[in-house]
Every structure is written in C-alpha cells, then in structure tokens.
Amino acid sequence: MNAAEMSIADLSGLLLSFSFTIFVFSYIFGDNLLFRLATHIFIGVAAGYASIVTLYNVILPQLILPLLSGGRDEMFLTISLLIPSLLLLTKISPRTSRLGNPAIAILVGIGAAVAIGGAIFGTLFPQTSAAINVFEKNGFINGTILVIGTLATLLFFQFSTRGKESSLTGMTQVANALRWIGKAFIAVTFGALFAGVYIAAITALIERFIFLWTFVKELVLPALLR
Amino acid sequence: MNLKLKSPISTAIAIGVGVVVLLGYFFGGDPAGELTTLGLLRDFLLQGAIVWAAVAMLVGIANLASVHLGKVRADEEGSFSFILLLSLIITLGVGLYDIIKTHTDQQLNFQRTSWIFNYIQLPIETSLMAVLAVSLTYAAVRLLTRRLNLLSAVFIGVVLMLLIGAVPQVAALAPLFAEIRNWILQIPTMAGARGILLGVALGTIATGIRILTGGDRPYRG
C-alpha cells in the first residue's frame, strides 16, 4: 500500500473498506447505528450485485438475446421459457400474484424431483456403499465404531411419532439407548463442524486485523507524520 | 368422501413436471448412451429451471425493495431502509451501465462493479465472518457455564482437541495430539456425518415424494 502510487478510486475504496470493517467490528460492543448502517448497505449492495450477475449470466444470454438474434427454433424454445418467466413476474404484486402459482408449481415440481434424484444418486447410494466397505479400509475396531455410529445417528432421526414412556418395550429401550449413542456421535460431528467454522472465522479475523494494521501503518501514519 | 382439491391446475403441473424430471433420471438414456425423449424433456426442464430460478430471485429482490420502500413511506426505521434502497439502486445502476458497456465495446468491462464488490461487499462480508469468531467463542462459553452436561462436554472437548491439534507447533511437539485429531476426524466424525447425511437424504426423499403426490403444496398463495 503506497498512497502516492494509488489512484483516487483505489484510495477511496480502501478508506471505505477500512470504515466498513470498523463499523462491523463495533458489533463486538453490542448492536449499534454503525453496524446497522454497514449491514443495510451490505444487503443493498449484495442484492444489487446478485441481480447484475443473474441478469448478465442467465437472463440476457438465455431469455433476451435469443429473442433478438436467434433462429426460429431457438426463438420458439425461448418463448416457452419466457411464458413461465412472465407469470413469475406477476408475483411482484399481491393483486396479480395468483397468476404466478403455475410457474411456482413448475419450479417446485422440478425442485422436488431434483432433490429426490440428488438424494438417491448423490447421497444415499455413495454413502451406503461407503458404509458397506468400512471394514476393508479401517480395520475391525474402527469399522465397528463407524457402523455403530452411522446406524445410531441414523436411528436418532425418527420419522414417526414417539410412544409414551409407559408403553416402552425392551426393543424400544434398546432403540432409545442407540439413539443416545447417536446423539453423542452427532455432538462429535457438530464439534468438528464448529471447530472448522471457528478456524475459518479466526482466519478472517486475522486477515481483517492485518488489513487494518497495514492501512494505519502505510496510509494513516505517514499522512499524520508528514 | 368429500374430496376438495385446492389449486388443481398448479398441483397437476407440479406433479406432471416433477414425475417427468424424476423418470428422466432413470430412463433418460438408452443403452447406447443416447438421450431418450424423456431425457431431452428432462434436460429442457432443468435448463428452464435455471432461468425460472433466476427470474424468481429477481422477483425476490423486487419484493425486498418494495418492503423497504413501504418502510420508508411509513417512516418505520425509514433511514436505514432508504440507505438499503440507495445502495441497491446505485449497485444496479452501475452494473447495468457495465453490462451495456460490455455489449457496446464487445469486451468485458466490469471495473466499476468489481470496485463495488472488492471495496464494499467483500470487506463487510469478511468482517462479518471475523465477528463470527467472537460470537462463537461467546456461544461456547455460554454452553459451558449454563448447559453443562455430558453431551455438551463431549462437544466442547472435541472442539478444543481439534483446535489445539490444528496448531502446527503442537503437532510437531506432541504427535499424539495430531494422531488423536486425525482419528476424531476420520472415525467418529465421519460416522456421525454419514448418519446425518443419510438421515437428511431420507428426509429429502420423503418431502419430495409428498410434493410429487400432492400431499404438500407449497406453491399456493
């Protein structure tokens, strides 16, 4: 960072970055005006940026440009995409929003099918086949822990309603004990996830401190000492 | 039996489209590797879903703008909503200008949008992530002081073990630490993650089937 070699745009950008970093860090002392200002600007900018990326990468090349310069087949295909898109736009106003229901239904139908397909081919088959081969790769003890952990965790996700405590049979008591073991495995997994997120957050914190320190050392202090 | 079917057209569309896409997964290709009619239809619908999801996102952003416009009019935290709208409009304006410039110059010209991204969005996002470190520490301390039981002790113990084991100096001085850390990550964490993933997948399939059979209709309204 050298102020003399920087353009006005870069310099003002760095000043903005510095200010916004301080504004967000002020949240450490509690919710305040500066933090709210930063988050509201962030939401506005992020929404605007997402709109621009969507317009440039999806809407323009797939919905607008083929209509303007595409062949007959392409135009026919684009019109079939355009009709549900226009119906979706009716969702903006509460008065016309009912017209958009069929378009939402198309999205929901496709989403449900993709979710089922993804769950079967992306998770269920690969994870089940990996669980089958645990003894070959991990040995007997680790393999047993993996199998018990997987089954106990899976058992914790009960998709039906639970019976009353008084009506518990021996089998359900075993299932309950396994569920408790599953809870312990979930605690270990969430602990690992927590540690991962914590390391990422600490990395971001260090990066921001380095930025603040570099900004003060190379731009603020030389200006004050001049 | 009095069967009252609400929004029959939307329900029929959702079921029809969903079944076609789902069948396309299983019967989308013939043994020679060529796409069948079902496969072509599935590809068209998936391609369309990208466009419609993009339009739906724009509708969502328009809704965000209208909600904040309402707040500005009602003077309910209006100044912050005004700032949000202003930053949204400026970003959109700059972005649209860059898109037009890119098309007229026939080369990528997104310096202004990149400036906004690099100097406003990225620092705020990174700072929010950094503040998360403080919030997570506070949450962990609260867990220890207010809800200490065997499971929370296991949770905190795993967190500490993984954090200490991640320090390279610790791994160099006490290799056992690194070994325990690797074992935790590869065996119990993997078992729990696999169980969670399988549970989520089964839940997803159950929810998807409910939608495809018309049991759930989240498109009414």
Asked if A195's CB is within 8 angstroms of B166's CB, the reply is yes
CB-CB neighbors (< 8 A) of A160 in chain B? none
pLDDT per position as a tens digit, A85-136: 999 999 988 888 888 899 999 999 999 999 999 999 999 999 888 888 888 8
Residues 167-186 of B with CB under 8 A from A: 184-186
Domain boundaries, chain A: 1-69, 133-226
Handedness of CA B98, B103, B104, B105 (dihedral sign): positive
Q: What is the reported pLDDT for B74?
A: 87
B1–chain A nearest CA distance, Å: 26
Residue A167 has pLDDT above 80, yes or no: no
The mean pLDDT of A46-65, rounded to a whole number, is 95
Using CA atoms of B197, B52, B61, B124 in order, give the dihedral in degrees to the nearest 10. 50
pLDDT per position as a tens digit, B14-41: 999 999 999 998 888 888 888 889 999 9
Residues 157-176 of A with CB under 8 A from B: 157, 159
Please tell me whether the overall predicted TM-score, pTM, comes out greater than 0.80 for this model.
yes
Residue A5 has pLDDT above 50, yes or no: yes
Q: What is the reported pLDDT for A132?
A: 84
List the one residue out of B173, B165, B171, B143 whose CA is nearest residue B156.
Answer: B143
Identity of residue A224: L
Q: Predicted confidence band at B221 (pLDDT cuts at 50, 70, 90)?
A: low
Q: Is B120 on the interface with A (CB under 8 A)?
A: yes
Q: Is B144 on the interface with A (CB under 8 A)?
A: no
Nearest chain A residue to B130 by CA distance is A205
Q: Predicted confidence band at A161 (pLDDT cuts at 50, 70, 90)?
A: low
| Residue in the block written with tokens 């979930």 | A186
Residues 36-95 of B with CB under 8 A from A: 44-59, 61-66, 80-81, 83-92, 95
CB-CB neighbors (< 8 A) of B6 in chain A? none
Instruction: Tell me the H-state helices in A90-169.
Output: 101-118, 125-132, 134-156
Q: Which tokens is B220 given?
A: 């009414």
Domain boundaries, chain B: 148-215
pLDDT per position as a tens digit, B100-136: 999 898 888 899 999 999 999 999 999 999 999 999 9
B2–chain A nearest CA distance, Å: 25
Asked if B121's CB is within 8 angstroms of A110's CB, the reply is no
User: Which whole-number Å values give the CA distances from B85 to B97, B114, B115, B181, in the listed order?
Assistant: 18, 20, 19, 48
Q: Is A66 on the interface with B (CB under 8 A)?
A: no
Identity of residue B24: G
Q: What is the reported pLDDT for A120?
A: 93
CB atoms within 10 A of CB B182: 12
Q: Is A177 on the interface with B (CB under 8 A)?
A: no
Per DSSP, B36 falls in state -
Asked if B127's CB is within 8 angstroms of A107's CB, the reply is no
Q: Predicted confidence band at B147 (pLDDT cuts at 50, 70, 90)?
A: confident
Q: Is B130 on the interface with A (CB under 8 A)?
A: yes
Query: How many inter-chain contacts (A to B, CB under 8 Å) are there?
Result: 394
Q: Which tokens is B156 given?
A: 């905190």
Instruction: Tell me the H-state helices in A55-124.
Output: 65-69, 72-89, 101-118
Residue A160 has pLDDT above 70, yes or no: no
List the one residue out of A117, A150, A116, A158 whose CA is nearest residue A132.
Answer: A150
Nearest chain A residue to B137 by CA distance is A198
Reported ipTM: 0.87
| Residue in the block written with tokens 């939307």 | B10
Summary mean pLDDT of chain B: 90
Residue B1 has pLDDT above 70, yes or no: no
Contact between A62 and A81 (Cβ < 8 Å): yes
- 3-state SS class at B34: coil
Mutate to test the interface with B, among A1, A34, A45, A63 (most CBs of B within 10 A): A45
Percent of chain B with pLDDT over 90: 67
CB atoms within 10 A of CB A191: 25
Q: What is the reported pLDDT for A116?
A: 95
Taking the mean position of all CA atoms in its chain, how far away is CA A139?
36
Residue B4 has pLDDT above 60, yes or no: no
The mean pLDDT of B35-55, rounded to a whole number, is 93
Q: What is the reported pLDDT for B12?
A: 92
